[in-house]
Amino acid sequence: MSRKVDDKTLTYIANTLQKMVDDQKIYKSYSDIDPIGASDLTTCISMIVRITDDALFFEPELNDKVLEKLNLSISNLLDAIEEVNFQSNKKLAMIYETQSIPIHSGSRDLGSLRNDLEKWRDASVDLIDDLDTKSPKTISRPKNWRSRYIARYVAIFYRVRKGSLPRNASGNPIKKYITAVDDICVCLKLDFPAAKYACKEVLNLFAKGEDLDPPIL
């Protein structure tokens, strides 16, 4: 399911969710879960794992720096290509073709490389723009957005199993819901999960008929 999350962790998450909804069944392995009879459980776990693996949507600042560096490197390389004279260009193309497996027709010279690099540079600019407009943001202190999405999926799982959202008469998250989200975040080694606040924000959104944006770029 994931390159980062092993069977032990998946099983722990499953049993944490089971405990939250007062289900007495305890799994010894993730493979023991019936994918049809317990599809709500496997779906919840799958979404949690996806959130854990997703570095593009949840780490926009880091990705932005890397993409800016890539963009600059491509621009510098394009500038260097412009300085290569016609004869050197042709000679490089000949050497390139003798060293390459012929998987396409036509010659490959620095002009072709320049066109490809320009497309990669344009693509990096588009992705930087997407990160800027679509990634989650906060006005106040930094938030761990992963914990909020995990809280969302856990709340939906609870609602499927129990018929209502995990909140008390005052609209606040119940303790077992907060505990489950916190345990899952700790298990996944998320920094500063602030489970209580994550759960409260998710339930507040649901109460207003709103939701977190899909974690898709």
| Average pLDDT taken over every residue of the chain | 81
What mean pLDDT do residues 145-171 have? 94
Question: What would the pLDDT profile of 17-44 be if each residue is shown by its tens digit?
Answer: 999 999 999 999 999 999 888 999 999 9
**81-85, 118-122, 160-164, 173-177, range with the lowest pLDDT:** 118-122
Amino acid at 69: K
What mean pLDDT do residues 42-62 have? 77
Q: Which of 29-43, 136-150, 185-199 has the highest mean pLDDT?
A: 29-43
For residue 86, give both structure tokens.
Answer: 């016609």
d(CA 26, CA 53): 25
How much is the pLDDT for 178? 96
What mean pLDDT do residues 170-184 have? 95
Which residues contact residue 117 at a Cβ distance below 8 angstroms, ignoring those fewer than 6 apart?
74, 77, 78, 81
How much is the pLDDT for 137? 58
Q: Is the pLDDT of residue 216 over 70?
A: no
For residue 56, give both structure tokens.
Answer: 């593009």
Q: Is the pLDDT of residue 95 over 80?
A: no
How much is the pLDDT for 56? 58
Q: Is the pLDDT of residue 15 over 70?
A: yes
Q: CA of 75: how far to CAs of 24, 78, 96, 117, 120, in Å?
A: 60, 5, 22, 8, 10
d(CA 71, CA 121): 5
Q: Is the pLDDT of residue 142 over 50?
A: no
**71-75, 86-90, 93-97, range with the lowest pLDDT:** 93-97
